[in-house]
Structure 1
Amino acid sequence: MHGPVSATEDGSRGVVPTLAELVALRQAAAGRRVPRRGRHGASGPAPAPVRGRGMEYAESRAYAPGDDARHVDWRLTARSGRMHTKLFQAERQRLTLLVADTAPSLYFGTRARFKSVQAARAGAVAAWAALRDGDRLAALRGSGDEAPVPPAGGTRGVLRVLDALVRWYVAPPRDDAGLPLALEHARRLLRPGSRLFVLADPGSIEAVPRAAWAGLAAHHEVTVLLLQDPLERDPPRARLPFVDDGRRIEVDLADGREYDRWRQAFAGAAARAADTLRAHGVRAHLLDADAPSHAWLPGSRAGVAPA
């Protein structure tokens, strides 16, 4: 069932992501730094930009605690009234890789927006946070035909990823081969110390071998955002009408057995997925489709299950 009878208030709002809304989420990532964690749980900010002989200026970004004061962009600071730091082409930048699950079950929603739209929005927040941290950014999905968005730094790198998120989450791609293939592509692209963000439907986690999660978490900082709809998490005991490919379908959750089956299929799957991921060293966050899209970031607790 890919669409409820009344999923949105008007037309395409909340049904498909737009580049404009993903760009506007840059402010949501401002001031909230994604924690770093090594193999032994240590956390801290990303390494500050390093300038050496022969390095060329790339761009400037907002100053963050820990940045080298020698690299302050005083001209932009004076013009904007906010401290900015210069970045250079040859600095050793960490890679942040965004992996997008495009399972058909994500293209569904009952409040505010589809889970697919929330996935695109949460991915945009992660992309802007990576820019703030000075990372190079890349993205991919489970496709045997489409190449990954190649690693790139700066605003241009973020915009390439946002454009891909819009394309991927407008409708289920016909060539979706699943999350296991996407993570296999990711494993070949990542280098030790990289940061991996996975946008996924909870039901997709079971298809990934547990050893794959353990292997990724052993060498990288891995965060999985599990997208869920409020109706999946907490359904009413009533008859619910849906539309699937133009056909009207009713699910009778007033029936106790049907209600239990629903809970096992959705809320149960989400809880199992989160437990599996955390047991293998992966940060897992349950993110409701109607929650703030930055709710999973440190300091933003609304709509996120405790880690």
Structure 2
Amino acid sequence: MRDSKNRSSEQGPEVGAGIRPSLAELVALRPLARQRTPVRRARSGARALAPSPHRGQGMEYAESRDYVSGDDARHIDWRVTARTGRTHTKTFQRERERLTLIVADTAAALYFGTRVRFKSTQAARAGALAAWSAAADGDRIAALAASDGSLVPPAGGGRGALRALHALARWYAAPPATDPGLGVALEHARRLLRPGSRALVLADAASIALVPARDWAAIGAHSDVLVLLLEDPLEHAPPRARVGFATPGGRVDLDLAGDAQRARWRDAFAQPREDALTRLRAARIGVESLSSDAASDAWLPAFARSEAR
């Protein structure tokens, strides 16, 4: 797992207040996603939806052309080669636009933050960047909430991205009344994903840890899956002082000055995090951490790398 630090092209003051994500804030991230997203192009200058000599998941035959040095010999078109007397190779194109699915964990632990913004707001911003990045790649974009299984159906381009942004702003405005858990959302996601699809899972460590490794392995069997672990600095380095928190049930004060209290605090966050990483490693699922005070786009290079895995 890599920690997404505060190195970014993100400039200027924060667009939102940090407690609840606004649609305007998420829309404003579009240029940032473009800066961070390498455009996938073939040698002709077209996007990667154009024919490619390299066959991958979700690819179909497009045409045959003259073989050149460096082409994969496994894709030689023997029929055309025999007919023309010159070696030809098959080229391939995507059977359909790739699907990028954003899975939003909505556990109550995400609606919390001590620096810059809540983890929930950071999750919404990260999801928005993924949507804009996917739109730039020519993907269809869908989004799924863990709270009630709400699905934003797949759509391409700016329209698909905006639909996802509307949903993210709504889902992360406040904790849901009920939340069946991330595992239910992942089961739904597994039915939606097809070979060659890509998924980004926005989640809290405790939610990740509750999903068995076999379920993570199932969702990652035929798709590129990246988990973004949302964190807050206070979870790992609490101040040696009395700290007050605003909760749905009222204000709560915790004395974190003593060593015993601080040890219990760290263990409460450290164990779920370790369990989460253990499950993801066992399932060979990629994971990045993103702190609430980090640049929201710091993890995007890993999202671009996910398609190469």
TM-score, length-normalised on structure 2?
0.73
- Take 1:232 and 1:35, find their aligned partners in 2: how far apart are those partners? 37
Deviations 1:194-219 (CA, angstroms, capped at 9, x unpaired): 10100001110121111011122221
Deviations 1:61-85 (A, max 9, x none): xxxxxxxxxxxxxxxxxxxxxxxxx
2:141 to 137, 141, 165: 137
1:204 to 195, 207, 212: 207
Query: 1:248: how far off?
Result: 2.6
Equivalent of 1:97 in 94, 98, 101: 101
The alpha-carbon deviation at position 176 of structure 1 amounts to 2.1
- Find the residue that maps to 1:219 and give its secondary structure: coil
1:21-71 residue CA offsets vs partner (Å, 9 max, x unmatched):
1111112211434899xxxxxxxxx971248xxxxxxxxxxxxxxxxxxxx
| 1:151 aligned onto 2:154 | yes
Match of 1:84 in 2: none
| 1:12-27 pair list within 5 angstroms | 13-27=17-31
Gaps of 5+ in 2: 1-13, 41-45, 52-93, 304-309
Runs of 4+ in 1 over 3 A off after TM superposition: 33-36
Residue number in structure 2 paired with 1:48: 48
Please name the residue that 1:236 is paired with.
239
Equivalent residue for 1:69?
none
Which residue matches 1:191? 194
Aligned to 1:120: 124
Q: Contact 2:136/2:157 (CA < 8 Å) preserved in 1?
A: no
The alpha-carbon deviation at position 150 of structure 1 amounts to: 0.3
Deviations 1:101-122 (A, max 9, x none): 0001111111111000000000
| 1:230, distance to aligned residue in structure 2 (A) | 0.9
Code of the aligned partner of 1:115: K
CA separation in 2, counterparts of 1:141 and 1:299?
22
| Equivalent pair of 1:34/1:129 in contact (CA under 8 Å) | no
In the alignment, residue 98 of structure 2 is paired with which amino acid? R
Tell me if structure 2 keeps the 8 A contact 1:108–1:116.
Answer: yes
Contact 2:216 2:283 in 1 (8 A): yes
Change (3 A) 1:126 1:229: same
Measured in 2, the distance between the counterparts of 1:224 and 1:111 equals 22
Give the root-mean-square deviation of aligned CA atoms: 2.7
Q: Which amino acid aligns with 1:20?
A: A
User: In structure 2, what residue type is equivalent to 1:98?
Assistant: I
TM-score, normalised with respect to structure 1: 0.73
Corresponding residue for 1:6? none
Bigger Rg, which one: 2
Say whether the 8 Å CA contact 1:50–1:91 is kept in structure 2: no
Identity, % of aligned positions: 58
